[in-house]
Structure 1
């Protein structure tokens, strides 16, 4: 095994796309070439929607070209206006989808354990202009869905979940995707389940799915009728083929992710100032990310640890730094005040996501863990 002090022969990145057997994709594509149906809800598209619904334990899945388009259409489908309360600790697309729909993001704070919206902070941000809550199942850890729903019921708000990280995650009552008015998935190359690029909306009923399916296809009802102001957000047969080839192996891929996560838990246990993720927050986690926190009393900062690991060929990511309100476009937002979300500020300063993907060797996990332990232990001993 490589010594903890030696650089890795090749860089190890925070993630690596999981690919299905190429022969399985080619077999599906042969049918595409024979039928010459490339998009517009072709047979592979319809098959993937059905198979995903069965696997995920939901009834209505609408496939999209990517997760951001899915989120844009979800907001449009619910006819949202005014303000929507959301998280500052997320990928920028969460807030961009609101802005593109002419909706003002209102940033609330997060909970330190789940990194998801704090219901008390949500309630403090509600105004007469609030129309919805856009919460994020950050790293695949479930939001406090019951408290969020109580707030929505009390204030007559809609709830959308950005579940880009939460593919196949179960909570206390089954699929996490069943909560809220709509849940949005991403099938980007870096996600647990990918179609190279892709996404989906989980709808609660057939009527909502029909509206969403029209919105993603220019608003067409039939060849002569456009009922709503739509967009082109459809998934192609090529991407659906990748998804269909991926799905049979997804359980094994999640199992391998779990083995990597358990390896980190073993090798990193007991390091002072390093706080490990709690995967027990989900009844069935998917191990999409492995976020650790380097607390402020640590002898090496989070950013110092990033640089230390990079110098040894380990490429980690500071998800999510900077916070969304720190980007120039959002600095003038009325809620872009760090005093309103101190936990998010702390997380953005402390969190580091370590490499995790199905074919990451357990020897590499041990190597990375040694590289993390070394500067912390040396400086603590000194």
Structure 2
């Protein structure tokens, strides 16, 4: 079987060396030595500052909103459900704005139109879908025009740059997921990268129950800290992440070369690199979608409708400024297998099946 995804296992010998350190120190959580080491290494590797580790990517979004005082937001309908559900769980007044048909990301023009209709939202939450960067300059222009804060859900965008800048340096905050299925993981976990140190400092208090540096209680917080055992996994995997990303990106390029003209593919940001996080294809015809998925299953190849449905349909009680593009893309997108343990021959086996059907 060619699996849709296969998480990276940490090298047990390296991992155990870190775990011995944890046991010897008896410091298992609460911003321990491995937490500080992973923070510094990730900041250096990703080219960012003000990186705060948290216990998962969903809490990363919630804490970022809380730290930035975002109580209402416009967001994308084409993303993993957590982008929306994390906001709704926190009681954020939320609305959907449509995506760009080429990139599958939140469309700055549609966003501008939405904010002209209703300018009462505090901020914007946009997703770098499949690791493909949003039009960060276009969204910045709209946000500045309407005086809105911007949070990027960068769960798929580990190691992605726009030009010479990490994609995480755009907006007021960017959130990462370190779930086991991601390019880089800590089994469960995540991070927030803040533009401003004051927001980082506030968030660090919030993820530790709101306890301030002097031990007094400030704004009510939550427990969203990343523990030392999970940091040990991250430190172990970070040693080899360059090779992982290089391999996944190479497979992604082979996929796109083989399937160009056979299926529709999202248009990648012209100034961005690739991390091979996902391999999405779009097939408009429902019958052809079904034929491809059935043929892949027959050949023991996993695939997934990811993302579907368009979230404005799943949460139809929320305000929508019109999401026809998202509904169309969600109705035809399929993600193909892509992970570090695949070979070039595996990719060719997948694309041969699709070519035979289409």
TM-score tier by shorter-chain length is: over 0.9
Matches within 5 A, 1:284-295: 284-295=273-284
Q: Aligned equivalents of 1:45 and 1:341: distance in 2?
A: 41
Does the Cα contact within 8 Å between 1:75 and 1:101 map onto a contact in 2?
A: no
Matches within 5 A, 1:161-310: 161-222=152-213, 224-271=215-262, 274-279=263-268, 281-296=270-285, 300-310=287-297
Change in 2 beyond 3 A, CA 1:148/1:266? closer
Deviation at 1:279?
4.3
Q: Aligned equivalents of 1:264 and 1:334: distance in 2?
A: 37
Q: Aligned equivalents of 1:278 and 1:137: distance in 2?
A: 13
- Of 272, 296, 303 in structure 2, the residue corresponding to residue 316 of structure 1 is 303
Q: Deviations over 1:254-305 (max 9, x none)?
A: 111022112223332442xx12344453432212111111133x8x422332
Deviation at 1:179?
0.4
Deviation at 1:306?
1.8
Runs (5+) with no aligned partner, structure 1: 1-10, 377-382
Query: Taking structure 2 as the reference length, what is the TM-score of the superposition?
Result: 0.95
Are 1:96 and 2:85 matched, yes or no? yes
Deviation at 1:222?
4.3
Q: Aligned equivalents of 1:267 and 1:154: distance in 2?
A: 42
Does the Cα contact within 8 Å between 1:279 and 1:287 map onto a contact in 2?
A: no
Report the counterpart of residue 3 of structure 1 in structure 2. none
Deviation at 1:173?
4.2
Deviation at 1:324?
1.4
Report the counterpart of residue 36 of structure 1 in structure 2. 26
Does the Cα contact within 8 Å between 1:106 and 1:125 map onto a contact in 2?
A: no
Matches within 5 A, 1:341-360: 341-360=323-342
Deviation at 1:32?
0.6
Aligned residue for 1:201, secondary structure, equals strand
Q: Deviations over 1:303-356 (max 9, x none)?
A: 3322321222111111111111222xx222232x7xx11111111111111100
The count of aligned residue pairs is 356
Does the Cα contact within 8 Å between 2:133 and 2:272 map onto a contact in 1?
A: no
Runs (5+) with no aligned partner, structure 2: none
Instruction: State the Cα RMSD in Å.
Output: 1.6
Q: Aligned equivalents of 2:93 and 2:258: distance in 1?
A: 44
Q: Which has the larger radius of gyration?
A: 1
Q: Deviations over 1:42-79 (max 9, x none)?
A: 00001000100000000111001100011110011111
Are 1:138 and 2:132 matched, yes or no? no
